């Protein structure tokens, strides 16, 4: 609303069509972005320590192209990003595979559930920075610390989701396939896997969001390279435009991966389902409480 007059000035022709565009979904989103950047610019006038949007864009340009930040510091974007991505994928893989296995186990066997449920709950409640601290004490400043932080913080979310999915399999189907003497491995492939695929996917999305937060924390507290380390580097150097620039980088990364790539993939892969089913999984996902 506040940006509407500003945007109107830009248009010189056909105000009717422009107004219609302005109230369309895209128009609303563009207006929101303009308001946000405007508010940010305004904030820099009130609080001079806040870096302006232009200075942040400039910083990111220098950082990505490897130019000079003044003095001897040069831009290092891809170096840090690649290191973080490598650790992130390894940690995610470990946490995800372990989570799926334990989740199926908990979902299928009552004994496993009674044995493991509380442990998984405790892990679920652990804040990621605790893992960052503990792994640093165990491994020092080494690559194992961030990898393990990602794995340990992602694992319980996958396990809980998969366990929920496995328990939701209708017992009738299971009884029927046993009665008709469908083999164990065939049951697994045709009954269990399709039934829990949605939950596994939801778990994966969760693991990615949680793990990303975990690796940033771990690198922030005890890294010598990586996105979290670089963010802290600029923060410690009192160069807030560098800090804000990197914050934007890691936010954009997670939003693109989660909202754009995974969200679309999920919708495509589970097209055959009722929309209400997919929504249901997402609600359940929320109830885990991140």
Partner 1 sequence: MTDTVAETLQEDLDQAQVLRTAAGSRRRRYLAVVLGWLVFIGLWWLLSLWVGSEARLPSPGRVFQEIVTILQEDFWAQFWASIVRVFAGFLVAILIGTPLGFLMGRSKYWSNFLQSPVVVAGSIPGLTYAVMAFVVFGISFWGPVLAVGLISMPYVAINVAEGVHGVDRRLVDMSTAYGRNESQVFRHVVVPSVLPFVFAGVRLSFSLAWKVGTLTEVFGSSKGIGFQIRRNYQLFNMPAVIAWVLLFVLFMLLLERFVLVRLERRLFRWRQWERDR
Nearest one of 64, 79, 80 to 245, comparing CA atoms = 64
Among 92, 128, 158, 204, which residue interacts with partner 1 (rule: CB under 8 A)? 128
As given in the structure block, the two tokens for residue 246 are 């990197």
Q: Least distance in Å: CB of 185 to partner 1? A: 27
Burial 118-127 (b: 16+ CB within 10 A, else e): eebeebbeee
Bridge partners of residue 74, in order along the sequence: 68
Q: Least distance in Å: CB of 33 to partner 1? A: 8
Among 182, 197, 247, 262, which residue interacts with partner 1 (rule: CB under 8 A)? 247
Is 31 near partner 1 (CB under 8 A)? yes
Binding to partner 1 (CB under 8 A) within 178-237 occurs at: 209, 212-213, 216-217, 220, 228, 235
Is 280 near partner 1 (CB under 8 A)? no
Q: How far apart are CA 157 and CA 289, in angstroms?
A: 9
Q: Least distance in Å: CB of 111 to partner 1? A: 6
Nearest one of 159, 153, 178 to 106, comparing CA atoms = 159
DSSP per-residue letters across 210-255: HHHHHHHHHHHHH-SSSHHHHHHHHHHTT-HHHHHHHHHHHHHHHH
Q: Least distance in Å: CB of 91 to partner 1? A: 15
Q: Would you say 68 or 224 has its CB closer to partner 1?
A: 224
Phi, then psi, of 47 in degrees rounded to 5 = -110, 100
Q: Would you say 181 or 236 has its CB closer to partner 1?
A: 236
Q: Would you say 146 or 228 has its CB closer to partner 1?
A: 228
Residues 218, 222, 227: CA angle, nearest 5 degrees = 60
Is 94 near partner 1 (CB under 8 A)? no
Task: Give the C-alpha distances (Å, rounded to integers) separating 216 from 80, 89, 178, 226.
Answer: 12, 13, 47, 8
Is 118 near partner 1 (CB under 8 A)? yes
As given in the structure block, the two tokens for residue 281 are 């999984």
Residue 102: burial class (beta carbons within 10 Å; 0-12, 13-18, 19+)? buried
Q: How far apart are CA 113 and CA 129, in angstroms?
A: 27
Is 286 near partner 1 (CB under 8 A)? yes
Site string for partner 1, 259-278 (x = CB under 8 A): x-------------------
Among 42, 137, 176, 193, which residue interacts with partner 1 (rule: CB under 8 A)? 137
Q: Would you say 53 or 228 has its CB closer to partner 1?
A: 228
Q: Give the interface with partner 1 as residue ranges (CB under 8 A).
A: 23, 25, 28-29, 31-33, 36, 49, 110-111, 114-119, 121-122, 124-130, 133-134, 137-138, 209, 212-213, 216-217, 220, 228, 235, 240, 243, 247, 250-251, 254-255, 258-259, 286-287, 289-290
């Amino acid at each position: 609303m506040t940006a509407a007059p500003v945007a109107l000035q830009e248009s010189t022709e056909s105000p009717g069509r422009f107004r219609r565009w302005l109230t369309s979904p895209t128009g609303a989103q563009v207006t929101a972005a303009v308001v946000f950047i405007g508010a940010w610019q305004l904030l820099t006038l009130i609080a001079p320590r806040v870096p302006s949007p232009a200075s942040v864009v400039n910083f990111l340009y220098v950082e990505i192209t490897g130019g000079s930040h003044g003095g001897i510091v040069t831009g290092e974007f891809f170096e840090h990003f690649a290191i973080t991505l490598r650790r992130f994928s390894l940690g995610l893989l470990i946490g995800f595979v372990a989570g799926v296995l334990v989740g199926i186990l908990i979902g299928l066997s009552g004994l496993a559930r009674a044995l493991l449920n509380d442990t998984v709950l405790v892990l679920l409640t652990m804040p990621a920075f605790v893992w960052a601290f503990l792994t640093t004490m165990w491994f020092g400043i080494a690559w194992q610390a961030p990898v393990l932080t990602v794995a340990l913080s992602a694992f319980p979310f996958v396990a809980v989701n998969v366990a929920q999915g496995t328990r939701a399999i209708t017992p009738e189907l299971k009884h029927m396939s046993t009665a008709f003497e469908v083999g164990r491995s065939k049951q697994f492939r045709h009954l269990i896997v399709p039934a829990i695929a949605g939950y596994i996917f939801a778990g994966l999305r969760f693991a990615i969001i949680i793990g990303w937060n975990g690796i940033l924390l771990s690198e922030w507290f005890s890294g010598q390279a990586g996105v979290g380390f670089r963010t802290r580097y600029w923060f410690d150097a009192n160069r807030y435009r560098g800090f804000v620039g990197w914050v934007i980088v890691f936010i954009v990364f997670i939003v693109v991966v989660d909202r754009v790539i995974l969200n679309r993939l999920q919708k495509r892969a589970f097209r055959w389902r009722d929309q209400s089913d997919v929504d249901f999984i997402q609600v359940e996902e929320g109830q885990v409480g991140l």
